[in-house]
């Protein structure tokens, strides 16, 4: 079993380059299958979720090759076969093959998607959207196999009960080649959705309004070859900025789009943390005093749920009591137990409310990653702690942070992955 070992308390300086956004690329790779022929996706991050998607794409008879961060996908010989349970369960984003294969073949067979255990994670909004477009959904309660089938895919007016990122993108996929116009109301506005709509439009789709709460898709007959560059990962950027605020000395986080993390930078201002934005580089240093603040996670452009857990580590060093409320997922406080083991003073009111009393010196401990962003929070804590931290279940972390160990060692951290016999 692999574990991350961190000898904490080192000051980090130098530059960290941010990779392409995980939540964009996990939709762009399935989207490539919509094109007849070849597509090129550049700035693809080196994360294990990427590889899980390559395995699904290959199982569908699609050719994939990669050179550094450039991925070529050729769907000329695509076959619409069942996506096995094993492949479907490897990651949450496997659900994007539903929208893509519906658009292309009006028929999909796959299993309930996997992903981190951060909540119930239903897909009812995706399915309701498909049904409004004329899709018949069959679900086997025992095997969790889904068969989605439509005689015709028809444009529809779909108002989402919640601005779900996944449902917005999936319905957008299905609508690209449907007959007529689809309007998604209360659509999610995350920046990744614009990146994906740009890719689809480059293929010849007719989508307007991505990035706003109303997206309109006029169905077209077919989609053609295109290329796209993945936008920078705002969550990876936010995580390194939080690390910089804890242990940085002029740490430069490069390749960021500052407009995508306004909510995070505003919180830094409230906390009294100095940072400097120059184009797409943000320079940040360890803050002398951190003001306590309140954080409530919200849909974009609010404070991102994916940065709530890393931010909670920074709040353990604030001078007073902070409040952290998670509103998107039911199960995003699993890391708190481990932060407290490291010396933090966090009271959990329930699964979504935490009171963080600071400042508390952190010390190394042996701890477990329970999900991707919770795991990242433990890495952040290990870097700030005195002594050695050993983190197990690191697969969660590697799903979403490319070259984590290399990037951190390059700026002066003492962090490595070791193989341990169980
Ligand atoms: C995406 C991101 C994830 C991020 C989340 C919220 C990807 C691959 N993952 O996840 O990192 O934390 O957005 O910003 O892009 N919901 C339903 N029914 C549905 C769909 C969602 O009830 O059919 C609920 C979920 O349980 C959750 C909320 O809506 O409480 C948000 O989910 P959603 O925005 O869909 O998240 P994902 O797309 O899965």
Instruction: State which ligand 1 atom lies nearest to the alpha carbon of 120.
Output: 26
Q: How far apart are CA 365 and CA 387, in angstroms?
A: 8
* pLDDT tops 80 at residue 290: yes
Residue 117 has a pLDDT of 74
Q: How far apart are CA 23 and CA 48, in angstroms?
A: 13
**Best mutation site among 20, 22, 93, 166 for ligand 1 pocket (most ligand atoms within 8 Å of CB):** 166
Residue 116 has a pLDDT of 67
Q: Is the CB of 309 under 6 A from ligand 1?
A: no
For residue 92, the CA-to-ligand 1 centroid distance in Å is 9
φ and ψ at 69, to 5 degrees? -100, 10
Q: Is the CB of 352 under 6 A from ligand 1?
A: no
Q: What is the pLDDT of residues 38-58, one digit of tens each?
A: 999 999 999 999 999 999 999
Residues 6+ apart with CB under 8 A from 213: 163, 185, 186, 187, 189
In 68-116, at which residue ranges do the beta strands (DSSP E only) sit? 70-74, 107-111
For residue 121, the CA-to-ligand 1 centroid distance in Å is 7
* pLDDT tops 80 at residue 119: no
In 211-247, at which residue ranges do the beta strands (DSSP E only) sit? 214-218, 223-229
**Best mutation site among 120, 128, 162, 309 for ligand 1 pocket (most ligand atoms within 8 Å of CB):** 162
Q: What is the pLDDT of residues 317-351, one digit of tens each?
A: 999 999 999 999 999 999 999 999 999 999 999 99
Output the pTM of the full model: 0.97
Residue owning the nearest CA to atom 25 of ligand 1? 121
Q: Is the CB of 167 under 6 A from ligand 1?
A: yes
Q: What H or E segment, with its residue span, contains residue 273? A: none
Identify the active-site residue in 21, 116, 196, 313.
116
- Nearest CA among 114, 169, 121 for reference residue 332: 121
For residue 362, the CA-to-ligand 1 centroid distance in Å is 32
Instruction: State which ligand 1 atom lies nearest to the alpha carbon of 49.
Output: 8
Residue 240 has a pLDDT of 98
Mean pLDDT, the chain, whole residue set: 96
Q: How far apart are CA 271 and CA 134, in angstroms?
A: 50
Residue 293 has a pLDDT of 98
Q: Is the CB of 125 under 6 A from ligand 1?
A: yes
Q: Is the CB of 119 under 6 A from ligand 1?
A: yes
Task: Give residue for tokens 């439009």.
Answer: 201
Q: How far apart are CA 78 and CA 64, in angstroms?
A: 12
State the first-to-last Cα distance of the chain, in angstroms, to the nearest integer: 7
Residue 422 has a pLDDT of 62
Q: How far apart are CA 219 and CA 106, in angstroms?
A: 14
What average pLDDT does this structure show over 223-242?
98
| Residue 113 confidence class, pLDDT cut points 50, 70, 90 | confident
Residue 421 has a pLDDT of 73
The Cβ of residue 413 has, within 10 Å, a number of other Cβ atoms equal to 22
Residue 325 has a pLDDT of 98
- Nearest CA among 162, 223, 220, 214 for reference residue 193: 214
Catalytic residue check, 116: yes
For residue 371, the CA-to-ligand 1 centroid distance in Å is 15
- Core vs surface per residue 309-334: b (16+ CB within 10 A) or e: bbbbbbbbbbeeebebebebbebbbb
Residue 299 is classified by DSSP as S
Residue owning the nearest CA to atom 11 of ligand 1? 306
- Nearest CA among 261, 253, 239, 249 for reference residue 282: 253
Q: Is the CB of 307 under 6 A from ligand 1?
A: no
Q: How far is CA 396 from the centre of its chain?
A: 12
Q: How far apart are CA 297 and CA 190, in angstroms?
A: 14
Residue 121 has a pLDDT of 82
| Residue 141 confidence class, pLDDT cut points 50, 70, 90 | confident
For residue 164, the CA-to-ligand 1 centroid distance in Å is 5
Q: Is the CB of 118 under 6 A from ligand 1?
A: no
In 285-404, at which residue ranges do the beta strands (DSSP E only) sit? 294-296, 321-325, 345-350, 353-357, 366-368, 388-392
Residue 162 has a pLDDT of 97
Q: Is the CB of 92 under 6 A from ligand 1?
A: yes
Least confidently predicted of 131-135, 306-310, 395-399: 395-399
**Best mutation site among 45, 114, 165, 399 for ligand 1 pocket (most ligand atoms within 8 Å of CB):** 165
Q: What is the pLDDT of residues 264-282, one digit of tens each?
A: 999 999 999 999 999 999 9
Q: Is the CB of 306 under 6 A from ligand 1?
A: yes
Q: Is the CB of 164 under 6 A from ligand 1?
A: yes
What average pLDDT does this structure show over 173-198?
98
């Amino acid at each position: 079993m692999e574990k991350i070992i961190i000898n904490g308390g080192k000051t980090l300086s130098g530059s960290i380059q941010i990779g392409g956004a995980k939540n964009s690329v996990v939709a762009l790779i399935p989207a490539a299958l919509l094109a007849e022929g070849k597509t090129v996706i550049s700035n693809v991050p080196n994360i294990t979720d990427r590889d899980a998607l390559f395995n699904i794409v290959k199982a569908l008879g699609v050719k994939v090759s990669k050179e550094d961060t450039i991925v070529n996908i050729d769907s000329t010989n695509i076959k619409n076969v069942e996506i096995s349970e094993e492949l479907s369960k490897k990651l949450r984003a496997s659900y994007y093959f539903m929208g893509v294969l519906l658009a292309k073949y009006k028929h999909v067979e796959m299993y309930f998607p996997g992903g981190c255990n951060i909540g119930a994670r239903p897909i009812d909004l995706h399915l309701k959207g498909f049904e409004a477009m004329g899709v018949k959904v069959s679900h086997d309660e025992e095997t969790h196999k889904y068969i989605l089938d439509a005689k015709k895919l028809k444009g529809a007016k779909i108002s989402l009960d919640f601005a779900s990122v996944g449902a917005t993108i999936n319905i957008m996929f299905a609508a690209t080649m449907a007959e007529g116009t689809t309007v998604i109301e209360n659509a999610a506005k995350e920046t990744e959705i614009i990146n994906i709509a740009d890719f689809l439009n480059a293929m010849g789709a007719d989508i307007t309004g991505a990035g706003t709460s109303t997206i309109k898709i006029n169905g077209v007959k077919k989609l053609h070859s295109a290329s796209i560059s993945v936008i920078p990962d705002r969550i990876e950027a936010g995580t390194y900025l939080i690390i910089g605020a804890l242990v940085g000395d002029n740490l430069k986080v490069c390749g960021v789009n500052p407009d995508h993390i306004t909510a995070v930078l505003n919180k830094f201002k409230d906390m009294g943390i100095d940072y400097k934005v120059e184009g797409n580089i943000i320079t940040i240093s360890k803050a002398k005093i951190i003001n306590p603040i309140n954080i409530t996670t919200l849909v974009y452009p609010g404070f991102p749920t994916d940065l709530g857990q890393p931010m909670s580590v920074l709040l353990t060093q604030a001078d007073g009591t902070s409040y952290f409320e998670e509103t998107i997922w039911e199960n995003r406080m699993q890391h708190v137990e481990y932060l407290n083991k490291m010396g933090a003073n966090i009271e959990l009111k329930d699964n979504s409310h935490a009171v963080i009393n600071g400042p508390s010196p952190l010390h190394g401990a042996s701890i477990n990653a329970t999900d991707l962003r919770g795991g990242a929070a433990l890495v952040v804590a290990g870097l700030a702690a005195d002594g050695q931290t050993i983190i197990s279940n690191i697969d969660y972390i590697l799903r979403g942070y490319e070259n984590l160990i290399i990037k951190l060692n390059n700026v002066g951290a003492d962090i490595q992955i070791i193989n341990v016999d169980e």
